[in-house]
Structure 1
Amino acid sequence: MKTVRLTMAQALVRFLENQYIEVDGEQSRFVRGVFIIPGHGNVVGLGQALSQEAKHLEIWHGQNEQGMAQAAVAFAKQMKRKQICVATSSVGPGAANMVTACGTATANNIPLLVLPGDVYACRQPDPVLQQVEQTNNLSISTNDAFKAVCRYWDRIVRPEQLMSAMISAFRVLTDPANTGAVCIAMPQDVEGEAYDYPESFFKKRVWRLERRPATEAALADAAEVIKKAKRPILVCGGGVRYSEAHEEFRAFAEATGIPFGETQAGKSAIEWTHPLNLGGLGVTGCSAANDIAKKADVVIGVGTRYTDFTTASKWLFKDTCKFVNINVSEFQALKMDAVPVVADAKDALPRLLAKLDGYKAPYTTEVSAAREKWAKELERLDHITFEDKKSWKPIINDANADSAKRFAKDLDAGLCQTTVLGAINAMMSEGDVAIGAAGSLPGDMQRMWRPTGIDCYNMEYGYSTMGYEIAGALGVKLAIGDKREVYAMCGDGSFNMLHGELVTAVMERKKINICLFDNASFGCINNLQVGHGNVTLCTELRYRSKDGLFGDFLNIDYAKVAEGYGCKSYSIRTMEELAAAFEDAKKVKDRPVLFDIKVLPKTMTDGYGSWWRVGDTEVSERPENLAAYQDHLDHVRDARKY
């Protein structure tokens, strides 16, 4: 056996260089590049290895460890999990910063490889800088925190362990049923230690994405349930996009006449104009999908995890409703007490359709009527103005109009969020990608957003990570290239939490468009707070007054912040300024753009017949809390139990 002597870090980089994935007979490199913030724990060993061994891998200089790892998540999501980026950090706080991004990846079933530096395996210099000592177990380091948010975790304490660890890591990264974050912790002394690695370890290795076929028995069971359905509905989940089963899903829906609702991950698999597309489903869904879902007797979920937002905390569907689930994951396929079809959607849907013997859902005008009703509401949402009180309700009502009026005075602003969102959507070009993650915008977008093409909607709502938006926009841009634009819909809360990758975008001369909706609050959580009987507490950005944080709203000039980084920026308070800024921004080619848009609080969309279970208060001095708790009990009584 021929060997080559390399350090562990050099062997790691050489291995990454030679990993490929094969999908339906087509091979491509699986690892695009590495995001790095060099520091104590990765700057010497891995840094030297990247300089020496990286031939095809691109290297990007991150600004915040969480941010660069979130960019890697968004990249892999946009690439439909067929290519990944790696994120590497120092020990201690640098490593801990990536834990959140790993949660994002694993919650959304997106492959992410993180390589945090670690404390010394030999322990001779302990305690080292940034080491947290656990007196009961000296083998524990910050990197043990990754275990709860990763699908696979390993620590390389001897250089030869790298070989088995990386095979296991890539097994998970390329497994559609079990993918997520993978953490390979690297003690900094081991990074520089050498071993005689077999040359075969570095040969081109092809990981084949196998399409798991459905069994005949499972398809027969599913067909038996569907053929008895009187009011069936399909759920288009992220698995439709990741398995590239777009046409198979469309053909199934059209042949059977079964309408479909979309999850956040499934949105844009099928064009929004399709006559069977009911739009967003669940807590952040629209009236069309929710009205049909409430009366459904059979739900056919394709590639969905059935989060509480999709099922409205299991309240949306009747207790007598039956479920058929098509999913590559057995764990997901068994949810909702379903008839499981554990299979790839691209394989299962045509074969299931063949077993339905020409079944046609007995709908008459219900689907078209639901779509027409929603189209009228969508038209209203596109044209709400603060001046026209008739257009407020149900978005702004008399009870919460005061904060909107105060904001309008303090910031000299009067734009409504839904109106701005609709206008941005209309001004984007075909193929442009929209990205979002947290706050009230994901709800508005799942309901209102009309994607500009197929797979042009990148919403992270499994973990709903504030700060994903800007970092994610960079990841999407790396995935789609310079011929198309990416627009991040970002609240001021998310911007304040994490926007350092704007600097990386400037360094890389990448144009990403940040649409910053500034309502000087965590508007979504404020709605949740006061809507369940509580007083406003730390959910608005106000100056402190003698009574607490109830003074004037903060008027932050985010345009100047972005301009200071080297971005092109615009301050927007009118629809005319918005239109002019978008037209002018099209001339920008080589740097990020930020639109600082002041939007009134409480001007987001409403619930449209959904319910979300939260921890309401059973005992309180406030009657509003007790009323909310009674409403909670009423909904729990009607919700499915599993």
Structure 2
Amino acid sequence: MKKTVTLTVAQAIIQYLDQQSVERDGEINKFFAGCFGIFGHGNVGGIGQALSEYPNFRYYQSRNEQAMVHAAAAYARMKNRMETFACTASIGPGATNMLTAAASATINRLPVLLLPGDTFATRHVDPALQQLESFHSADLSVNDCFRPVSRFWDRITRPEQVIASLPQVLRVLTSPAETGAVTLCLPQDVQTESFAFPIELFEPKTWFIARPLPDTTLLDRAVAKIRTARKPLIVAGGGVLYSEASAALQRFVDQTGIPVAETFAGKGALRYDHPQALGAAGATGTEGANVYAAEADLVIGIGTRYSDFTTASNTAFQNDAVTFININITAFDAYKQSALPLVGDARATLEALLLRLEGYQVDADYRARAQFFNEQWDQRVTAAYTPLAADSLSQAEIIGLVNEYAAPEDVVLCAAGSLPGDLHKLWRTRDPKGFHVEYGYSCMGYEIAGGLGAKMATPSREVYVMVGDASFLMLSADIITSIQEGYKLIIILINNHGYASIGGLSRSLGMEGFGTQYRARNNESGQLDGGLLPVNLAENARSLGAIVLEAHRPDDFAEALQVAKTTDSTTVIYVETAGERKMAGYGHAWWEVPIASVAYNAKVCEAYQKNSEQKERQRYHL
């Protein structure tokens, strides 16, 4: 006779998740660190009740549903996708609040499990509070919005369905090639229904994370291409870090001399002071990285998805003879740029190539030139870090002081605005996990929630959250969660009085920053070009329970950083920037943004002409 245990659907889900582990390289750890949640009528009696009965599967109280998914994704990133969280929300607005962060997790290839409440499966009480009614389908709810941003999606309408669905959930979440947000929609009545589940469902299970190798024929062809290339370049993406391949990459570079440019997600793959480290790639790139990209006859992409910033909107690689080799666990990305696809684990593939490339090195002059660019760029970073005035700070100078006070293993975290571009160029990375910038979705509001997730994953490291005023105003409430759980963050809150990044972009398009500053309505012009709004962000942060330090000069800011190291709770350093002192772009640092082809403003027409000239440089790599 089969052994069963009678549980509610919600209890069965939590019990199952609590028994799941992953294994890679002989190391085994639990896959779920717990569950973030906000309760409403759509989940309080189901998932909420189950979490209250199983305290080993720890519940964390968030303040915003989007924020808790960001925190889970940041945690998974710091853990190299070997651990994550579940996130539960009520029906309707609670569920759809998770949608933005779900998209961010999937775009960034990060595992997060979403457990949104759903409307009654019985339909007896339709329309329930917060239920979307559809005129053409009784089976449609707002949770269907999660379909395009989820790597696996299911709705549980009968208790026994979870027996088949939960293994599929874990298969996708633990797959390096398929992972992202996974959504399991849970009608509120079904969550509380009981069923005699087979007891085997709740036995401990370990999911093995393999390190697959590409086909040997393709490896041999890749080696032949590398050996005949005169100007090869590596573009290191986030897959290098997720595969824990930084040491293998350094051995590969030391042996071959091939220089490395890094994407946002791949920054830290090689230490900033390695002689072959060219720094940031693409639209926010360094001079050396962009010069080498323009001249490269072979690009070796490792764990990159070739976003428009990495390719400078397909103007970065200008050599007429350029070809590509892509090392990627995901075939979808490996085939991009018409590359020779090496579908496999980054670390294992680099090790296999290294064995086959014994005796191969790039020309000494090519190697020495990369070192020259590395050293030259470091001098420019030093200049950018050096304060130019005693009574004000530029954004670059703020970054420099944070970099100076941060320990090598500490983490700088950011997501949106002008900060990511400056950090990409200027941050001196000394640890593979020391640079955490979410730029796959560049989601405003990620910063503080993401900082919480990063700190939960690595509590021994200081996490420096760098956030502008616009992102802070969008999503800052999880300062409270960090204090509640005892996870200290150091938050650098920079007041630009508006959307600094888009303001700069607007001016580059000839639009003079229209609608991007926090200014009052001007009754004479009818526009938002009146006086600056009297917003006090320092007091806002204090109201959330943070320790707040205000800094207005380089000396003040340095002192505040020193004090922040000694505090035992989340500390906000509030500072305003000298917005006129901006970092320049270098080389082919272009990013395509459409410009109106017809305008009365002469500056817009001029910008349109310049943009058209840049578009002439765009390439198809076929």
- TM class, shorter-length: over 0.9
Q: Offset at 1:363?
A: 4.5
| Contact 2:392/2:554 (<8 A) preserved | no
What are the Cα deviations for residues 243-281 of structure 1, in whole angstroms up to 9, with x where unaligned?
A: 111111111111110010111111112211111111111
| SS, match of residue 422 in structure 1 | helix
Question: Hey, what does 1:200 align to over in structure 2?
Answer: 200
Partners of 1:17 and 1:54 within 8 A in 2: no
Deviation at 1:628, TM superposition (A): 2.0
What's the counterpart of residue 407 of structure 1? none
Alpha-carbon distance in 1 for matches of 2:286, 2:494: 21
Counterpart of 2:572 (choices 594, 599, 619) is: 594
In the alignment, which residue of structure 1 is the partner of 2:489? 512
Structure-2 residue corresponding to 1:573? 552
Which consecutive residues of structure 2, in runs of 5 or more, have no partner in the other structure?
Answer: none
Please give the per-residue CA displacement for 1:389-446, whole angstroms capped at 9, x wherever unaligned: xxxxxxxxxxxxxxxxxxxxxxxx7321111110111011231111110000000101
Deviation sequence 1:578-616 (CA, Å, 0-9, x none)? 111112222211x21101111122433222121101112
Q: How many residues align?
A: 614
Equivalent residues in 2 for 1:375-414 (5 A)? 375-385=378-388, 414=392
Per-residue CA deviation, residues 508-556 of structure 1 (Å, 9 max, x unaligned), is 1221111111111211111111101123221111122232211222343
Cα drift, residue 46 of structure 1: 1.0
Residue 37 (structure 1) aligned with residue 14 (structure 2): no
Residue matched to 2:238: 238
2:449 matches 1:446: no
Distance 2:435 2:380 in 1: 22
In structure 2, the partner of 1:266 is 266
1:319-338 alignment to 2 at 5 Å? Answer: 319-338=320-339
Shift in alpha-carbon separation, 1:169–1:604, aligned structure 2, 3 A: farther
- In the alignment, does 2:474 pair up with 1:471? no
CA distance in 1, matches of 2:528, 2:117: 41
Q: Out of 412, 421, 424, which is 2:399 matched to?
A: 421
Question: For each residue in 1:355-407, what CA deviation from the matched residue of structure 2 results, as whole angstroms up to 9, or x when unmatched?
Answer: 234221124132122123312321221125358xxxxxxxxxxxxxxxxxxxx
1:84-483 alignment, distance < 5 Å: 84-318=84-318, 319-364=320-365, 365-385=368-388, 414-481=392-459, 483=460
Q: Contact between 2:75 and 2:450, CA under 8 Å: does it hold in 1?
A: yes
CA distance in 2, matches of 1:46, 1:112: 17
Work out whether residues 264 and 424 of structure 2, in 8 Å CA contact, stay in contact via their aligned partners in 1: yes
| 1:82 lines up with 2:82 in the alignment | yes
1:537 corresponds to which residue?
Answer: 514
Could you report, residue by residue, the CA deviation over 1:280-327 in whole angstroms, capped at 9, with x for unpaired residues? 111111112112111111111111111110110110002431111000
Render the CA deviation track for 1:478-513: whole Å, top value 9, x for unaligned: 1001x2210111111100111111111121122111
SS across alignment from 2:590: coil
Matched, 1:6 2:7: yes
Q: Label 1:452 to 1:361 Cα distance change in 2 as closer, same or farther (>3 A).
A: closer
What is the Cα deviation at residue 193 of structure 1?
0.7
Other-structure match for 1:393? none
Question: Does residue 493 of structure 1 match 2:462?
Answer: no
After superposition, the Cα gap between the structure-2 partners of 1:164 and 1:625, relative to the gap in structure 1 and judged at 3 Å, is same
Contact 1:386 1:416 in 2 (8 A): no
In the alignment, what sits opposite 1:24?
A: 25
Moved more, 471-480 or 285-294: 285-294
2:504–2:513 CA contact under 8 A, matched in 1: no
Q: Per-residue deviation at 1:626? A: 2.2
More deviation, 347-356/305-314: 347-356
Distance 1:354 1:53 in 2: 50
SS at match of 2:228: coil
Separation of aligned partners in 2, 1:443 and 1:269: 17
**Cα drift, residue 629 of structure 1:** 2.1
Contact 2:413 2:466 in 1 (8 A): yes
Matched, 1:563 2:542: yes
SS in 1 for 2:321: coil
Shift of 1:452: 4.2
Q: CA RMSD in A?
A: 1.3
Could you tell me how far 1:334 is from its partner in structure 2?
0.4
Which ranges in structure 1 are unaligned for 5 or more consecutive residues? 388-412
Structure 2 distance, partners of 1:90, 1:509, is 26
Matched residue type, 2:591 = W
User: How much has 1:152 moved relative to structure 2?
Assistant: 0.7
Matching residue's letter, 1:103: A
- One-letter amino acid of the counterpart of residue 633, structure 1: S
Instruction: Measure, in 1, the Cα distance between the counterparts of 2:408 and 2:358.
Output: 38
| SS of equivalent residue, structure 1 residue 309 | coil
Deviates more, 1:351-360 or 1:328-337: 351-360
Contact kept, 8 Å, 1:432 with 1:452, in 2: the verdict is no
- CA distance in 2 between partners of 1:574 and 1:386 (Å): 8
- Asked if the contact 2:273–2:374 (Cα under 8 Å) also holds between the matched residues in 1, the reply is no
* Identical counterparts, % of pairs: 40
Cα contact 2:272–2:430 (8 A) shared by 1: no
State how far apart, in whole Å, the 1-side matches of 2:262 and 2:611 are: 26
Query: Hey, what's the Cα distance between the residues in 2 that align with 1:354 and 1:637?
Result: 41
SS of residue matched to 2:375: helix
Structure 1: which amino acid aligns with 2:247? E
CA distance in 1 between counterparts of 2:475 and 2:242 reads 28
- The separation in 2 between residues aligned to 1:640 and 1:358, in whole angstroms, is 34
Please list the CA deviations of residues 40-67 of structure 1 after superposition, one character each: whole Å capped at 9, or x if unmatched: 2011111111111342x22110000001
- Give the Cα separation in 2 of the matches to 1:384 and 1:539: 27
Contact preservation (8 Å) 1:121, 1:187: yes
Contact 2:106 2:180 in 1 (8 A): yes
The residue type equivalent to 2:373 in the other structure is A
Quick check: 2:37–2:62 contact (8 Å CA) kept in 1?
yes
Asked if the contact 1:433–1:452 (Cα under 8 Å) also holds between the matched residues in 2, the reply is no
Structure 2 residue aligned with 1:396: none
Q: Any conservation in 1 of the 2:408–2:434 contact (CA below 8 Å)? A: no
After superposition, give the CA deviation of every residue in 1:150-171 in whole Å (9 maximum; x if it has no partner).
Answer: 1111100101111211111111
How much does 1:182 deviate?
A: 0.3
Taking the aligned partners of 1:376 and 1:46, their CA distance within structure 2 comes to: 55
Are the counterparts in 1 of residues 238 and 266 from structure 2 also a CA contact under 8 Å? Answer: yes
Give 1:403's aligned residue: none
The alignment status of 1:484 with 2:458, answered yes or no, reads no
SS at match of 2:100: helix
CA shift for structure 1 position 571: 1.3
